[in-house]
């Protein structure tokens, strides 16, 4: 029994030491991941709250005919302002692979977790002024704002970690976007005579199952804070709700603790890897 235990221990240590080795028939490994698959440009998206209607009470220079009007959810100037998506230093992964097949070099099962960040804030109106060029009977509010007939002053609440969390994550200060990538890859080694003894570049084809935290959208913010933003509200009432310290915390908790209800699938190709003994670097595209 003692000899069997020693043999099993030796076998385990051998697999661990040679994980990722170019001579292993199977192995495990870790890698640093650089993910180039997430591309989200800056955007200013209107947020609609399904049950919210805006009363013009409190508008400056309000024409008499406006007083009995209501503006619906699609006509209220509340926006999510998202900056460009940026990579962070965090990108780690692990893999299990087998290279005993005659026609392909290797089959790999891997997992990667990467983090991105972007500057995020929700803009909401704190004052609305009706200009002299505005019609006596109100049209669509957003159209009149675009045409310069109505002027709006905004305040904002942040969705960034540095403004909301008691402890920041290393290298991440803005609004986080976290992606977990689970995949299977068929690998093909690329022979380079000079460096082949030290590193083994290879490419691959495969499929991924991806889980990710959501990016704030009209539906997400409505789910997070829409309960308070319902019914008929004036500008001052909306300001009171949005300036409540609990409102950005609700957004932050919903943003960081929620993932997509359904994971999505993706085909990957043209991956570039460099493998050394036990450690590799990969680029996801």
What would the DSSP string read from start to end of 173-187? -SEEEEEEEEEEEEE
**Residue 4, φ and ψ in degrees, nearest 5:** -65, -40
What kind and span of H or E run contains 94?
strand 86-98
Distance in angstroms (rounded) separating the CA atoms of residues 257 and 219: 16
Q: Is-contact 85 39, C-beta < 8 A?
A: yes
**Residue 239, φ and ψ in degrees, nearest 5:** -60, -40
Tens of pLDDT, residue by residue, the chain (285 residues): 445 344 434 433 333 333 344 445 677 878 787 777 777 788 888 988 888 999 998 899 988 889 888 999 999 999 999 888 888 878 888 888 787 777 777 788 888 888 888 998 999 999 999 998 999 888 899 999 999 999 999 999 998 888 887 766 677 888 888 888 888 888 777 777 766 566 667 777 888 888 887 777 777 788 888 888 889 999 999 999 999 988 888 887 777 666 554 555 555 555 555 554 444 555 555
Query: How much is the pTM?
Result: 0.72
pLDDT value at residue 198? 62
What kind and span of H or E run contains 240?
helix 235-242
pLDDT value at residue 281? 53
pLDDT value at residue 97? 78
How many residues belong to the chain?
285
């Amino acid at each position: 029994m003692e000899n069997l235990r020693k043999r099993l221990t030796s076998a385990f240590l051998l697999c661990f030491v040679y994980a990722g080795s170019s001579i292993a028939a199977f192995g495990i490994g870790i890698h640093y991941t650089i993910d180039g698959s997430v591309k989200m440009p800056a955007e200013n998206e209107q947020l609609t709250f399904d049950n919210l209607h805006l009363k013009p009470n409190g508008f400056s220079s309000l024409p008499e005919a406006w007083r009995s009007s209501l503006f619906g959810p699609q006509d209220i100037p509340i926006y999510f302002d998202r900056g460009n998506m940026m990579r962070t230093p965090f990108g780690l992964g692990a893999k299990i692979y087998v290279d005993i097949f005659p026609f392909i070099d290797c089959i790999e099962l891997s997992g990667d977790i990467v983090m991105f960040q972007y500057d995020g804030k929700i803009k909401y109106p704190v004052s609305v002024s009706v200009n002299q060029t505005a019609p006596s009977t109100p049209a669509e509010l957003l159209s009149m704002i675009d045409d310069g007939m109505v002027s709006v002053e905004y305040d904002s609440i942040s969705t960034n970690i540095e403004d909301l969390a008691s402890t920041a994550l290393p290298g991440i200060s803005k609004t986080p976007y976290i992606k977990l990538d689970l995949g299977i890859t068929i690998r093909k080694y690329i022979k380079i005579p000079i460096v082949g003894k030290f590193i083994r570049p290879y490419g691959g084809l495969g499929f991924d199952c991806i889980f990710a935290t959501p990016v704030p959208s009209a539906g997400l913010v409505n789910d997070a804070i829409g309960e308070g933003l319902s019914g008929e509200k004036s500008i001052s009432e909306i300001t009171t709700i949005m300036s409540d310290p609990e409102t950005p915390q609700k957004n932050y908790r919903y943003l960081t603790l929620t993932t997509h209800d359904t994971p999505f699938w993706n085909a990957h190709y043209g991956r570039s890897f460099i493998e050394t003994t036990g450690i590799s670097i990969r680029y996801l595209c």
